[in-house]
């Protein structure tokens, strides 16, 4: 038979054990609640912000690419070259989609659109003007699609979409 002192010690030990389980259960519940909150509120808001910033960067690069193309096409100080215009376009566009890819939410629609442009860009044959023209049409189509994705994201977020400044030439 347990003495009164042993019974009191066992009762106190049981209380400590129960309090420990309650504390662990509360921590588990708080951790689970935080994980749910993070996954449904914090992470989507962060991804949305990343995509907005990435899209602004892409649209600026996309507009710069169109301007670079048009500046060469409308050059008056030398004979305009289609190959140079396309090359200028591709360089500016690459800067824009690289920035956008690096800033976009991982595996989101913006990052996927940038990958599509990059894939088309890698397939451009720069060794001939015919290869440039053929590849350019595919890159241009992917760039327009990415522009649509970004315009939708920016429009839904009520963010002003950057536009091309009028030429001063």
Q: What is the predicted pLDDT for the residue at 141?
A: 95
Q: pLDDT of 13-54, one tens digit each?
A: 889 999 999 999 999 999 999 999 999 999 999 999 999 999
> For the chain, what is the domain count?
1
- Model pLDDT for residues 83-121, shown as the tens digit of each residue: 899 999 999 999 999 999 999 999 999 999 999 999 999
Contacts of 119 (CB under 8 A, 6+ apart): 142
Give the residue numbers spanning the domain of 131. 47-156
| Residue 125 lies inside a defined structural domain of this protein | yes
* Helices H / strands E in the chain, number of each: 5, 0
Answer whether residue 24 is part of any domain: no
What is the reported pTM? Answer: 0.79
- Token pair, residue 76, equals 């008056």
Phi, psi of 126 (to 5 degrees): -90, 5
Residue 54 lies in a domain: yes
Is 31 a member of any domain?
A: no
The CATH number for 74's domain is 1.20.120
Cβ 131 vs Cβ 145: under 8 Å: no
Query: Are residues 116 and 71 in contact, defined by beta-carbon separation less than 8 angstroms?
Result: no
């Amino acid at each position: 038979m347990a003495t009164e002192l042993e019974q009191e010690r066992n009762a106190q030990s049981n209380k400590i054990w129960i309090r420990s389980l309650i504390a662990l259960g509360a921590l588990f519940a708080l951790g689970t609640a935080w994980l749910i909150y993070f996954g449904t509120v914090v992470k989507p808001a962060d991804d949305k912000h990343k995509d907005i910033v990435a899209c602004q960067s892409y649209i600026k690069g996309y507009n710069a690419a169109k301007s670079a193309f048009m500046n060469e096409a409308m050059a008056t100080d030398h004979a305009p070259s289609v190959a140079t215009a396309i090359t200028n376009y591709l360089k500016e566009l690459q800067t824009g989609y690289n920035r956008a890819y690096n800033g976009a939410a991982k595996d989101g629609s913006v990052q996927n659109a940038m990958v599509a442009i990059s894939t088309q860009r890698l397939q451009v044959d720069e060794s001939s003007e015919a290869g440039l023209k053929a590849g350019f049409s595919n890159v241009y189509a992917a760039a327009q699609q990415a522009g649509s994705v970004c315009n939708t994201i920016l429009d839904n977020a009520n963010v002003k979409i950057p536009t091309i400044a009028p030429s001063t030439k």
